[in-house]
Amino acid sequence: MSTLPAQESRPPGHNESLYGKRLSYHKVEGVGPCIAAEVVGNRLYAIGQGNFYVLDITTPAKPKLLGKLSGLGTTRQLFVKDNIAYVTARQDGLWLVDVSGAAKPALISHYDTVEMATGIWVSGGLAFIATRCYGVEVVDVSNPRQVRHVSTLKTGEAQSCWAKDGLLYIGDWAPRKLLVADVKNPRQPALVGEAPLDGYGDGGCLRGRFCFAATGHHSRARNKEEAEGKGHGLEIFDVSKPTQPVFVSRVKFPVHYSIFNDMWSARVAGEHCVAADTNNGLFVVNIRDIAKPAIVAHAQLPYVAQRQMFDPVGGVALGDGIIYAAGIYTGLYVVPAPGMAQPVVPEPDQPLMLPPLSETATANPDFRVYRPEGQVSAVAIQGDIAWTACGADGLHGVKLGDEPRRAAVHRGKGEICYVSYTGNRLYTAEGKEGMAIYEIGADLRLTELGRLTVPGQGVKQVVAPAPGRFALFHCGGATAYIADVSDPAKPTLVFKDSQVGLFYGDQLVDKLFDNRFLVAFWQRSGPAWYDISGAKPVLAGNTPDTTLYSWTDGACALGGKLLIVKRGKLFVLDPNERRNASDLPAHSVDGLRLVGRLSAGGNCLALSSRHQREVWVLDITDIARPRLKRHHSLFGHPGACAFWNNRLVIPAGYQGLLVER
């Protein structure tokens, strides 16, 4: 067994008088960087950097690699039940893996989640997927080869969730809450209880009437100095009355703050709870006296000199006298913990029944609906044809009229999550199959002209504004690229940019400004102006602000200018505007806080709020005095809208393509 390597620049380990004895560890051979692990019987499962591992732990201290599956994207959490592994992968959705043949884990299916798939729990034939700011998505996994959307529970920022007997518990991240939801009718989940946490909420677990919640980042203290980094710990609640969780006790872990690797989880077995606190390592908490929990041991994985930190523990799994720790950067570790670790025994869970879907549940009298099999995430209008990105169901050409009808279907090579239209060409984002360029021919037949993939990354959105020499696209959550597509048969990467924040979809503007600028709307750092007038594209700069931009906001072209929404108001920017947006004139609607992705058509402006599932249409005949014309509440999650014959066309997720009557 190894201990922490000697490094002169390494910070000291945790104080054993405060955090219990320091546990040793040794690395598991054949397993790369990990972020989560799970034990079922004599099998250990682990995930990390798109890889899925199956190991034999008949001898608990000596896991033996049996099988591996790659290509699962930005893997995050793992749940294994009835020989199926459910793997969340952030912007890459949910993967279902058959583990009945341990040596050859096999992909069963992929599901396109409504947003970044982070947490996962399975109860009966239903899976609950924590999708951060979009809440918890409920999906039907009774047929693992055809996973179907059921509903979405709106929350603050759901990072993780765990369930039992029709009650769902949620770690609500930035709001610092433990939420309880009644999901006995999965089509109508409802929040029924909550309790404050003294730290950002994330993972947890149940045992009997007690709920264990792992927390991190900052505490609730009002004074910044007293709050900064002091939210790390384990909190215990009595949930015998789910509508009123009662705080029982807590322990605190070392003070720490880093925006990276900010996830925390807990596992309970016997008299101990083991918590993974990423950058802080793992902690063993004795819970024999539930009112007075005590930290009895801890472990910090190897020091990673190039990152100047101990390898963060992404998650833990429990075996017989062993803790299995997922090292985010360096791999999977065996941490002997005799007398403190034992396998988790799942408690009985009453399976949930899915009632039939009522025809009226998704109906809306304001719209005619075109409903494909997949999630409708984007639409591009060509005359009377709405080219519609339908996820796993491909790209559909929908003929608009009194009743929208299918006119063409193109499957593509990957799930089609975005489409844009320039001249006689379509540009599609097809996940790990990259960006594709198609020529529109007679009878709406598409001919693939070229394709560009980025190894290890999935393309989520692409635009190629006229004249169409360059395409702007983004991969994953936080990388923008520009490709030269002047020869569509040989698209070539010519530029890459990463800034502060994530792309939450529809954040690239389908317009070339001043004949030289492409624009990406970064979630935190605002509009970025990319100058393509020279030999190679360059970042000309950003439109900054003293207050950060929000993931709820967006931008669109309005004539030759850029229109953005920020902090509930509209701003009009000249091309390459570098001043703070707050220094520019703001336009607002009385009594309405504006939010969402923007789309302009004639004298109308649509604001589409995907997470709130609402769309507002404004009259912008006078942009300085916008007026609310109409408002729609939806069942689905709308993307950026389009206009056809003065009617609104909405890509509404699993509700389908909506066309105003």
Among 241, 275, 309, the domain boundary falls at 275
480 and 608 assigned to the same domain: yes
Phi and psi of 455, rounded to 5°?
A: -50, 130
Report if residue 20 sits inside a domain: no
The rounded distance, in Å, linking the Cα atoms of 516 and 496 is: 17
Give the phi and the psi of residue 17 in degrees, each rounded to 5. Answer: -70, -20
Q: Which two tokens stand for residue 371?
A: 């409903």
CA distance 203 to 173: 10
Domain assignment present for residue 306? The answer is no
CB 276 within 8 A of CB 314: yes
- Residue 307 φ then ψ, to 5°: -105, -5
**Of 275, 304, 338, which marks where a domain is finished?**
275
pLDDT of residue 476: 79
Select from 240, 275, 310 the last residue of a domain: 275
Q: Is it the case that residue 191 has pLDDT exceeding 90?
A: yes
What residues have CB less than 8 Å from 107, skipping those under 6 apart? Answer: 69, 95, 96, 97, 98
Name the DSSP letter for residue 306: G
How far is residue 637's CA from residue 392's CA, in Å, rounded to a whole number? 17
**Confidence at residue 457, expressed as pLDDT on a 0 to 100 scale:** 87
- 202 pLDDT above the threshold of 70: yes
Determine the Cα–Cα distance for residues 187 and 315; give it in Å rounded to an integer: 31
Separation of alpha carbons 430 and 260, rounded Å: 28
- pTM equals 0.93
Question: Could you tell me if 85 and 78 are in contact, meaning their C-beta atoms sit under 8 angstroms apart?
Answer: yes
User: Do 270 and 408 lie in a common domain?
Assistant: no
Whether the CB-CB separation of 452 and 493 falls below 8 Å is answered with: yes
> What is the count of structural domains for the chain?
2
The answer to whether position 620 is within a domain reads: yes
323 falls within a domain: no
Structural domain contains residue 617:
yes
Asked whether residue 452 falls in the same domain as residue 560, the answer is: yes
- Verify that 372 and 266 share a domain, yes or no: no
Judge whether residue 3 has pLDDT over 60: no
Q: Which domain holds residue 189?
A: 34-275
pLDDT at site 6: 46
Q: Is residue 234 part of a domain?
A: yes
Rg, the chain, Cα only: 25
- What was the pLDDT predicted at 352? 87
Burial of 12 (0-12, 13-18, 19+ CB in 10 A): exposed
Residues 251-262: tens digit of each pLDDT? 999 999 998 899
Cβ-based burial of 363 (10 A; exposed 0-12, middle 13-18, buried ≥19)? exposed
Residues 268 and 374 in one domain: no
The CA distance from 411 to 586, in Å, is 44
Name the average pLDDT for the chain. 94
Picking from 22-26, 305-309, 492-496, 619-623, which range would have the lowest pLDDT averaged per residue?
Answer: 305-309
Interacting residues of 328 by C-beta distance below 8 A, sequence separation 6+: 33, 34, 35, 48, 261, 278, 311, 312, 313, 314
Cα 546 to the center of its chain, rounded Å: 27
Q: What is the pLDDT of residues 605-627, one digit of tens each?
A: 999 999 899 999 999 999 999 99
Quote the CA–CA distance of 318 and 337 in Å, as a whole number: 10
271 shares its domain with 377: no
Question: What CATH number corresponds to the domain at position 49?
Answer: 2.130.10.10
How far is Cα 162 from Cα 529, in angstroms, rounded to an integer?
42
Say yes or no to pLDDT of 353 above 70: yes
Residue 250 lies in a domain: yes
- How far apart are alpha carbons 633 and 609 in whole angstroms? 10
Query: Which SS3 state, helix, strand or coil, does residue 637 take?
Result: coil
Position 294 in a domain: no
pLDDT in tens, 532-546: 999 899 999 999 887
Domain match, 154 and 255 both: yes
Which of 3-17, 65-79, 260-274 has the weakest average pLDDT?
3-17
The span from the CA of 211 to the CA of 17, in Å, is 27
β-strands 43-48, 309-310 pairing: unpaired
Q: Compute the average pLDDT of residues 37-65.
A: 98
